[in-house]
Amino acid sequence: MAKRKIILLPKSSRILSELGGNIKIARLRRKLSSEQVSERANISRPTLTEIEKGAPTVSIGLYFSVLHVLGLEKDFLLLAKDDVLGRKLQDAKINTQRRAPKRMSDE
């Protein structure tokens, strides 16, 4: 089965790339080899390389496994923590219907 090509907006690609770079820097600061981290995270070295590049095809669970090995799993809780838009919508008390209205029959 061939891998699907995941298309991201340029800004999203840059963010993932930066995340991968941050993971690589964290590994190097801890003086851990890619072999050590991949073994502890129970992934292959090529997968770790893809994570450090910020590949969108790698599952979020594998990103989390590597963060856990590096002791950075709590950083995962910071994702989407401050939902500014959601809070503004909540504060504005914009009501949304739970379901679409019934369609009128053409009689």
**Residue 89 lies inside a defined structural domain of this protein:** no
Cβ atoms < 10 Å from Cβ of 21 = 13
Residues of the chain with pLDDT under 70: 1-3, 94-97, 100, 105-107
Are the CB atoms for 52 and 23 separated by under 8 Å?
yes
Q: How many domains does the chain have?
A: 1
Q: Which run of H or of E encompasses 89?
A: helix 84-92
- Residue at 10: amino acid letter: P
- pLDDT score for 7: 85
CB count within 10 Å of CB 101 equals: 6
**CATH number of the domain where residue 38 is located:** 1.10.260.40
Does residue 88 lie in a domain region? no
Q: What is the pLDDT of residue 107?
A: 56
The predicted structure's pLDDT at residue 26? 96
Distance (Å, rounded) from C-alpha 103 to C-alpha 91? 31
pLDDT value at position 59? 94
Say if 95 falls within a structural domain. Answer: no
Domain with 60, as residue range(s), is: 10-79
